[in-house]
Amino acid sequence: MPLKAEMISIGNELLIGKTVNTNATWLAQRLTHLGVDVRRVLAVGDSIEEISSSLKEALKRGPGIIITTGGLGPTYDDMTLEGVARATEVPLKVNGEALRMVRESYKHIGLQLTPARIKMGRMPRGAKPLTNPVGTAPGCFLRLKGTFIVSLPGVPKEMQAIFDQSVAPVVAKASKGRVFGEEAFEASGIPESGLAPLLDEVRAHHPLVYFKSHPRRPEGQPVIEFHLTSTGTDSSAVYDALGRAAAELKEILRKKGATVTQAT
């Protein structure tokens, strides 16, 4: 079974439309290509209650990993780890290693620790701080029974750096070598409404492949992009399944008069 993941993006700026949630898109792509099955992406506001309740609900479903982004900074509305502590019933305490990371980060830029900055060294008891190579707020890694809870900063470059350095290796190991494969191509000259029976026919022959169609209209010309994906533990088998499914679908589309090209 693939490792299942859920993501919780935290910040009022996401809910009012001020900020586009690029973190969720980036993480979903990275996790998927590491062989993880991303099941849910949720955005909540800067509220301990919302953070806590969303985590509790996710934990009930028992995913292998939950990743939160945002809310790790020094300001009053940075309350993610308080929410994690409440949801897991693990007390929040000053983590010596995390505080050292924060102190060194601020020392490097010529600033002293303040109560607000010390706050970034508080983590649920037993959590492991994750080094932030491009910022000041450490990430947080907490294992609760069968679930990893990973909290990352909301600043994209910091989130990405911590994930690639400290989280991706753990995820890759936990996913046990699962492979994600994809193939994309475009077809023009066929209406989307005529696709359903064609896709049903091909899907029945390739149960291990997921088919998705995306209608587009570049410069007034209707074009449909087909995106085929598959996962498994054998890379050769995954790409063989994709190749056979794509070949059959392309052949049927051409017989219906469509022009098939590689996706741009």
Report whether CATH 3.40.30.10 matches the domain 179-262. Answer: no
Give, in words, the CATH class of 4-174. alpha beta
Q: How far is CA 42 from CA 5, 45, 64, in A?
A: 12, 10, 16
Task: Tell me where in the chain the CATH 3.30.70.1130 domain(s) lie.
Answer: 179-262
The whole-number pLDDT of residue 82 equals 97
Task: Tell me where in the chain the CATH 3.40.980.10 domain(s) lie.
Answer: 4-174
153: Cβ–Cβ under 8 A, 6 or more apart, which residues? 69, 70, 72, 73, 132, 135, 137, 139, 159, 162
Q: Which two tokens stand for residue 170?
A: 């753990």
pLDDT < 50 regions, the chain: none
pLDDT tens for each residue of 196-234: 888 888 999 999 999 999 887 656 667 899 999 999 999
The whole-number pLDDT of residue 218 equals 59
The whole-number pLDDT of residue 220 equals 63
The whole-number pLDDT of residue 81 equals 98
Give the pTM: 0.91
